[in-house]
């Protein structure tokens, strides 16, 4: 009874041994055949890992903007390209901003923004950087802590004070290791007192360095630096996630009313929801990842055909061996199993090497700053599953061919 139960298992084990030996005998051939599957699995695993890394990075960048953000962009009233976005012709006024603050309850904080690029001069050095005019709420909205010093106040905003909070990169460029707080920086020949220094935040969406900037009150930026009357955009923080779309609708209605847009006319502003950006970017990267993974998966198919080819060669080469085995008592299923195990061993072994290589690629990619690709268990399971399936699928036909051989003809095969 026990014999009857253990016997099939033992036979599989023994047959596996024969298969291993046959593969070892043709090392070069086995390796070359395996290469197809190895490359396929390695690319699937590494592409999936890189895709996950990219997604994670984008998510980090989106959440580094702060949470529950809406951004209102002004559309130029004139369609003249030269004046588009110049700030002189914007239609989002500070009065609009005030109205939103007053009337939309769910708005927790907001900051109109004016940006310009200018030379900052300090400490005998010169550095071209982004000057961002913002409100005192800006750091709250962006969830951006100060390394030292403080943010400017409402009072300083009202008085268009010449105060500045400096980004870590800009500080390093201008002051080196020195503390910038209390120093003076000249922007467009106008002295600003540095009252705070920002923590480092790294690259933002699109890869721009968020740490290379000087933040000043938007009133100061508009009146003293650019002369613009309108903010280019307004960043708003909504008090909770659930209220995002309601707030978006409310602001749209309010602005349409204030801009006297009758029904049927298009908005002269854009409202972008942070979550929407994240979702869009996410779905794009996910689609791309699966697309690339699928293309890489095709090479598994090609690898499988390679296995089938080599198994057919192997069956033909070993015709006499097969004949001999059948003559001395091998059952057709013993022969089938022998060749099937051979092809499965080949494909699984290739799969394992492929997974290891994929890990390697993924590990190498972690050397890219702020990039953390990770190999998911799912992709390993899938890679192994597909390798196994490829081994069975492409090994079955040659194995059946071997099992169905006529022993008389096989024994005489030259």
Partner 1 sequence: MNASVIELDNLQKIYRTGDVEVRAVNGVSLRIERGDFVAIMGSSGSGKSTLMNMLGCLDQPTDGQYLLDGVDVARLGRSELSRLRNLKIGFVFQSFNLLSRTSACENVELPLFYTNPHVPLRDRRQRAIEALKKVGLGERLYNHPNQLSGGQQQRVAIARALVNNPELVLADEPTGNLDTRTSIEVMGLFQALNDAGITVIMVTHELDIAAYCKRIIVMRDGRIIRDEVNAARIFANDQRAVLDASEQHASLS
Return the number of the residue (224 or 325) whose C-beta is nearest partner 1: 325
Return the number of the residue (64 or 319) whose C-beta is nearest partner 1: 319
Least distance CB 32 / partner 1 (angstroms)? 20
Question: What's the chain look like in SS3?
Answer: CHHHHHHHHHHHHHHHHHHHHHHHHCHHHHHHHHHHHHHHHHHHHHHHHHHHHHHHHHHHHHHHCCCCEEEEEECCCCCCCCCCCCCCCCCCCHHHHHHHHHHCCCEEEEEEEEEEEEEEEECCEEEEEEEEEECCCHHHHCCCCEEEECCCCHHHHHCCCCEEEECHHHHHHHHCCCCCCCCEEEECCEEEEEEEEECCCCECHHHCECCCEEEEEHHHHHHHHHCCCCCCEEEEEECCHHHHHHHHHHHHHHHHHHCCCCCCCCCCEEEEEHHHHHHHHHHHHHHHHHHHHHHHHHHHHHHHHHHHHHHHHHHHHCHHHHHHHHHCCCCHHHHHHHHHHHHHHHHHHHHHHHHHHHHHHHHHHCCCCCCCCCCCHHHHHHHHHHHHHHHHHHHHHHHHHHHCCCHHHHHHCC
Return the number of the residue (377 or 406) whose C-beta is nearest partner 1: 406
Least distance CB 311 / partner 1 (angstroms)? 18
Least distance CB 29 / partner 1 (angstroms)? 14
Structural contact between residues 68 and 324, judged by C-beta atoms closer than 8 angstroms: no
Return the number of the residue (85 or 407) whose C-beta is nearest partner 1: 407
Least distance CB 408 / partner 1 (angstroms)? 5
Least distance CB 18 / partner 1 (angstroms)? 8
Residue identified by tokens 């020949």 is 189
Residues from 8 through 47 that contact partner 1 (CB under 8 A)? 10-11, 14, 25
Cα three-residue angle 76-107-139, rounded to 5 degrees: 85
Residues from 378 through 407 that contact partner 1 (CB under 8 A)? 407
Cβ-count burial of 282 within 10 angstroms (0-12 exposed, 13-18 middle, 19+ buried)?
middle
Q: What are phi and psi of 230, to 5 degrees?
A: -125, 140
Return the number of the residue (304 or 323) whose C-beta is nearest partner 1: 323
Residues from 47 through 76 that contact partner 1 (CB under 8 A)? none
Question: Residues touching partner 1: how many (CB under 8 A)?
Answer: 25
Least distance CB 399 / partner 1 (angstroms)? 16
Q: What are phi and psi of 211, to 5 degrees?
A: -85, -5
Least distance CB 314 / partner 1 (angstroms)? 14
Least distance CB 403 / partner 1 (angstroms)? 10
6 in contact with partner 1 (CB under 8 A) = yes
Return the number of the residue (188 or 333) whose C-beta is nearest partner 1: 333
Least distance CB 322 / partner 1 (angstroms)? 11
316 CB-side CA count, 13 A: 6
Return the number of the residue (9 or 82) whose C-beta is nearest partner 1: 9
Look up residue 161 and give its two tokens.
């004070």
Return the number of the residue (280 or 331) whose C-beta is nearest partner 1: 331
Return the number of the residue (11 or 400) whose C-beta is nearest partner 1: 11
Least distance CB 369 / partner 1 (angstroms)? 53
Return the number of the residue (15 or 170) whose C-beta is nearest partner 1: 15
Residues paired with 130 in a beta bridge: 117, 213
Return the number of the residue (18 or 71) whose C-beta is nearest partner 1: 18
Look up residue 252 and give its two tokens.
């749209």
Site map 304..343 versus partner 1, x via CB under 8 A: ----------------xx-xxxxxxxxxxxx---------
Least distance CB 344 / partner 1 (angstroms)? 20
3 in contact with partner 1 (CB under 8 A) = yes
172 in contact with partner 1 (CB under 8 A) = no
Q: Give me the residues that bind partner 1 (CB under 8 A), please.
A: 3-4, 6-7, 10-11, 14, 25, 320-321, 323-334, 407-408, 411
């Amino acid at each position: 009874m026990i014999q009857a139960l253990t016997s099939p298992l033992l036979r599989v084990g023994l047959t596996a041994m024969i298969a291993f030996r046959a593969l070892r005998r043709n090392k070069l051939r086995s390796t070359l055949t395996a290469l197809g599957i190895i490359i396929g699995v390695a690319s699937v695993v590494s592409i999936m890992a890189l895709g996950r890394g990219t997604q994670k990075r984008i998510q980090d960048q989106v959440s580094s903007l702060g949470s529950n953000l809406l951004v209102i962009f002004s559309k130029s009233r004139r369609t003249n390209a030269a004046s588009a976005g110049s700030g002189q012709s914007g239609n989002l006024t500070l009065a609009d901003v005030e109205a939103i603050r007053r009337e939309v309850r769910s708005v927790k904080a907001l900051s109109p923004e004016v940006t310009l690029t200018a030379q900052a001069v300090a400490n005998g050095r010169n550095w071209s950087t982004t000057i961002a005019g913002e409100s005192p709420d800006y750091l709250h909205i962006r969830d951006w802590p100060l390394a030292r010093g403080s943010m400017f106040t409402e009072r300083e905003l009202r008085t268009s004070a010449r105060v500045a909070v400096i980004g870590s990169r800009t500080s390093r460029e201008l002051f080196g290791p020195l503390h910038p707080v209390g120093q003076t920086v000249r922007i467009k020949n106008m002295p600003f007192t540095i009252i705070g220094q920002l923590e480092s935040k790294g690259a933002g969406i699109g890869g721009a360095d968020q740490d290379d900037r000087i933040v000043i009150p938007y009133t100061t930026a508009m009146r003293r630096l650019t002369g613009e009357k309108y903010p280019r955009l307004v960043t708003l923080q909504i008090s909770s996630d659930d209220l995002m779309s309601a707030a978006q609708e409310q602001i749209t209605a309010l602005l349409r009313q204030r801009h006297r847009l009758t029904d049927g006319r298009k908005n002269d502003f854009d409202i972008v929801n942070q979550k929407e950006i994240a979702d869009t970017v996410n779905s794009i990267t996910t689609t791309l990842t699966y697309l690339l993974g699928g293309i890489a998966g095709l090479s598994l198919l090609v690898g499988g055909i390679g296995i089938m080819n080599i198994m057919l060669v192997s069956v033909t080469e070993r015709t006499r061996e097969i004949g001999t085995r059948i003559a001395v008592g091998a059952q057709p299923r013993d022969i089938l199993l022998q060749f099937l195990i051979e092809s499965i061993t080949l494909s699984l072994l290739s799969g394992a090497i492929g997974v290891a290589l994929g890990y390697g690629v993924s590990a190498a990619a972690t050397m890219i700053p702020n990039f953390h690709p990770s190999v998911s268990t799912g992709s390993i399971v899938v890679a192994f599953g597909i390798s196994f399936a490829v081994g069975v699928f492409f090994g079955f036909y040659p194995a059946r061919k071997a099992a169905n051989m006529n022993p008389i003809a096989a024994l005489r095969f030259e």
